[in-house]
Amino acid sequence: MAARRYTHAIVCRIPDCFKTNAAELCGEIDLPLARKQHEELRKVLRDLGVDVIELPPDESQPDCVFVEDTAIVCNGTALICRPGLPTRQKEVDIVRSILKKDMELPIVDIANPEAMVDGGDILFTGPSHTSLQAKDDSGPNVTLKFPPPFVKCDSFHTHGACSLR
């Protein structure tokens, strides 16, 4: 299987409110260290030739650093996700706009209005297969059928708040 070539990355700088929000999930966060590591990530991506699109930190959106939860791009098409927290819709709208207007990608929405999925819960495991994590606290299980060009999808359950990536 050929390696994927990534051309773009959308990142969001870390807001001050991330420290409080993340601490609820995983303990104390060293905010200066997290920002330094995030800066190093952006540098490595640029050194690899990836076009990095940086969003400013948004103090009203403590999860805004988890840009991967808002969309998945596969085979030149963007699947817009529906994160589990309705308060994250602003993040989804910003990323949708970048993918559609700036990157000129075709946009696909999840058809099932009851389905909620974070992009971090989707893992591409091969050219024709995807895994979708369903968390115990995510409410009723719903079936997600990914439209073309996305691939076959299997679901499995995990415990806790951590995503696959």
pLDDT tens-place string over residues 76-104: 888 898 888 888 899 999 999 999 999 99
User: CB-based contacts of 154: which residues, under 8 Å, 6+ apart?
Assistant: 129, 130, 131, 132
Is 105 part of a structural domain of the chain? yes
Contact 60, 21 (CB under 8 A): no
What is the token pair recorded at 49? 């030739």
Whole-number average pLDDT of the chain:
78
Percent of the chain with pLDDT over 90: 40
Output the pLDDT for position 14.
95
Confidence bin at 35 (pLDDT 50/70/90) = very high
- This prediction has a pTM of 0.77
Is 82 part of a structural domain of the chain? yes
Output the pLDDT for position 62.
87
- Where in the sequence is the domain holding 64, given as residue range(s)? 8-112
Output the pLDDT for position 149.
55
Output the pLDDT for position 79.
87
39-89 pLDDT tens trace: 999 999 999 999 999 999 999 998 899 999 999 887 788 889 888 888 889
Is 2 part of a structural domain of the chain? no
Is 1 part of a structural domain of the chain? no
Domains held by the chain: number = 1
Output the pLDDT for position 75.
78
Is 122 part of a structural domain of the chain? no
Distances (CA, A) of 79 to 31, 86, 96, 99, 135: 31, 17, 9, 10, 20
Question: What CATH number is attached to the domain comprising 88?
Answer: 3.75.10.10
Contact 115, 82 (CB under 8 A): yes
Is 66 part of a structural domain of the chain? yes
